Structure 1
Amino acid sequence: MSNWQDGYVEGNCIKIHYYRTGDGDKPPVVLAHGFSDDGLCWTPVAKALEADYDVIMVDARGHGLSEAPESGYDPLTQAGDLRAVIEALELYRPAVIGHSMGAATTLVLAGTYPEVPGAIVLEDPPAWWMPGSASGFDPNWQMRMREWIRSLKSKTREQLIEECRQQNPSWPEEELGPWADSKLRLSEKVLNRADPPGIDWEKTARAVRCPALLVTGDNDKGAIVSPEQAEALRSLVPHLWVVHVPGTGHNIRREGFEPFISAVRGFLQRWTESR
């Protein structure tokens, strides 16, 4: 990480922080983290890809070192944030890889601004493309999350690392420090989601034109996307590739790094060869 860049861009009315492994001489890959994580939670992935790609790890608004405005914590606004970073850094049709919240952001980016990403990878996103699913956030969820965030911030970094180690024994040690740091930097403003703008998820998914990969885990281990939901997304995005990583839950790359990165490498290689 010592040679990685560390900077900000002004875009979409906020200051957005990012880390970057390269200087623009390799195909760009933008990484969008999940809720409560931040850019450096992608460190193992960035290290695995930096020899072949210019990797940009973005801190979402309210996360990491990015600005935490009072509002805008919805997939459409966050997609605008990613678009602003891509334009400010003059990245030409990068691949965008997102996890969970970041995967929802990535899907909306590709469906709303189809000219921006060159390819997308979705790591266990919320399946909001399903009929009847809701992307809103209820007050009970907000209350529970507020208590959770405050409980995290009452602990030391070392306590958080040990807690994460006990709760996630399959995670590599390299994951624990960035996870703990991200929780200590998290703003409670990320919970300001009472009235997110409506998104037509079916229409958005159908508008995706770039190569797309969905990576899924096991539902009985905590993964969100079921086989039926994966097929439903493929019906909306016919060119979607789906890779299942058995033995993993919601944090697929943390629990099955080698099969995850192998699938991503193969997908990115096909993408770069077609650029």
Structure 2
Amino acid sequence: MGDSSSFRWSELVVVRDGVRLSCRDWGGSGPDVLLLHGLAGHAGEWDATARALREAGYRVLALDQRGHGNSERRPEDVSRAAYVADVVAVVRELQLQRPVLIGQSLGGHTALLTAAAHPELPSALVLVEAGPGGSNPDVQAGIAEWFASWPVPFPTREDAVAFLGGGKRAVGEGWASGLEERADGLWPRFDADVMVRSLDDNATRSFWDEWAAITCPTLAVLGQGEQGGIIRDEEYAEMVRLRPGLYGVSVPGTGHDVHLERPGVLHDLLTGFLD
């Protein structure tokens, strides 16, 4: 199992309360790093980043979060607390030593909440297009509508790349690599209703108290392109006000999927911050 690069990953499985959690373990003997993908994503989105960090001397794992990829597809509990408990279980079961938590979008939100609830666990926190946010009662309807627009099954990988990338091939490739090939075409490895339920908490509340409680060094990486990212100026300003020591960087020419659009730039930002 793995890819054709000089480093190959193997699958590690952790079971928590009967829920199967699959990790890509890239190996390495340096400081531990745990990568968390966003909503409807998969661990493979991080392959370029994982390889680069592994080459830089880190021990790297990427988690398929519950409801996604090779992990349990239809877990009963998809609360924010369940996602956090999964991260804690993976860290403890695999004996990671104060890992750096790096997450994009909802994965960044999971990392944020983990760092807040378990300050002893991470050595550092990196949020890629993620923040404490505010309650958004319309978010679930918007996400459900987006999933309903997917013309599944995709007849070919090229069709999937074109649709999911929105004109950005690197983004489309990242999303398409997470699809499951069946006899009639390519299908998502998640169920839309599970994804919508995963946003129950985000639809009703913000997480500013949790943000203020974080004590470890934190880097926020934001998209800065024509469409921009999801972290607005007002939210970022409040993040800085509550935690003046925050490191923040905007990456020009990117949107929400910074890790797919500019993996080399992201790697330089990560290693510079961690060093």
Deviation track 1:228-262 (CA, whole Å, cap 9, x = no partner) reads: 32221122223211111112111112223332221
CA distance in 2, matches of 1:193, 1:257: 27
Change (3 A) 1:67 1:53: same
CA deviation after TM superposition for structure 1 residue 10, in Å: 0.9
Change (3 A) 1:241 1:165: closer
Partner of 2:142: 141
CA deviation after TM superposition for structure 1 residue 200, in Å: 5.8
Q: Secondary structure of 1:72's partner? A: coil
Matched, 1:91 2:96: yes
Per mean C-alpha deviation after superposition, the further-off stretch among 67-76 and 199-208 is 67-76
Partner of 1:246: 252
Partner of 1:48: 52
Verify the 8 A CA contact 1:107 1:205 in the aligned structure 2.
yes
CA distance in 2, matches of 1:174, 1:138: 25
Change (3 A) 1:165 1:144: closer
CA distance in 2, matches of 1:7, 1:55: 12
Change (3 A) 1:168 1:152: farther
CA deviation after TM superposition for structure 1 residue 174, in Å: 6.2
Structure 1 counterpart of 2:135, one-letter code: A
Deviation track 1:172-225 (CA, whole Å, cap 9, x = no partner) reads: 786365254596212232222474387661210111011110001226423111
Verify the 8 A CA contact 1:137 1:193 in the aligned structure 2.
no
Structure 2 counterpart of 1:222, one-letter code: G
CA distance in 2, matches of 1:81, 1:47: 24
Partner of 1:159: 159
Per mean C-alpha deviation after superposition, the further-off stretch among 134-143 and 79-88 is 134-143
In the superposition, the TM-score normalised over structure 2's length comes to 0.84
CA distance in 2, matches of 1:73, 1:58: 15
Partner of 1:178: 177
CA deviation after TM superposition for structure 1 residue 141, in Å: 2.8
Structure 2 counterpart of 1:109, one-letter code: T
Identity of aligned residues (%): 27
Structure 1 gaps, min length 5: 270-275
Matched, 1:260 2:259: no
1:1-275 aligned at under 5 Å gives the runs 1-2=2-3, 3-22=8-27, 25-51=29-55, 52-128=57-133, 133-134=134-135, 140-141=141-142, 143-148=144-149, 151-164=151-164, 167-169=167-169, 171=170, 175=174, 177-180=176-179, 184-188=188-192, 189-193=194-198, 195-196=200-201, 201-218=207-224, 220-269=226-275
In the superposition, the TM-score normalised over structure 1's length comes to 0.84
CA deviation after TM superposition for structure 1 residue 15, in Å: 1.0
CA deviation after TM superposition for structure 1 residue 116, in Å: 1.3
CA deviation after TM superposition for structure 1 residue 142, in Å: 5.2
CA distance in 2, matches of 1:185, 1:16: 14
CA deviation after TM superposition for structure 1 residue 126, in Å: 4.8
Structure 2 counterpart of 1:140, one-letter code: A
Higher helix share: 1
Structure 2 counterpart of 1:178, one-letter code: S
Q: Secondary structure of 1:42's partner? A: helix
Verify the 8 A CA contact 2:103 2:110 in the aligned structure 1.
yes
Verify the 8 A CA contact 2:163 2:172 in the aligned structure 1.
no
Partner of 2:183: none
Verify the 8 A CA contact 1:94 1:119 in the aligned structure 2.
yes
CA distance in 1, matches of 2:229, 2:190: 23
CA deviation after TM superposition for structure 1 residue 22, in Å: 0.6
Structure 2 gaps, min length 5: 181-185
Verify the 8 A CA contact 2:132 2:207 in the aligned structure 1.
no
Structure 2 counterpart of 1:141, one-letter code: G
CA RMSD of aligned residues (A): 2.7
Change (3 A) 1:94 1:194: closer
Change (3 A) 1:79 1:199: farther
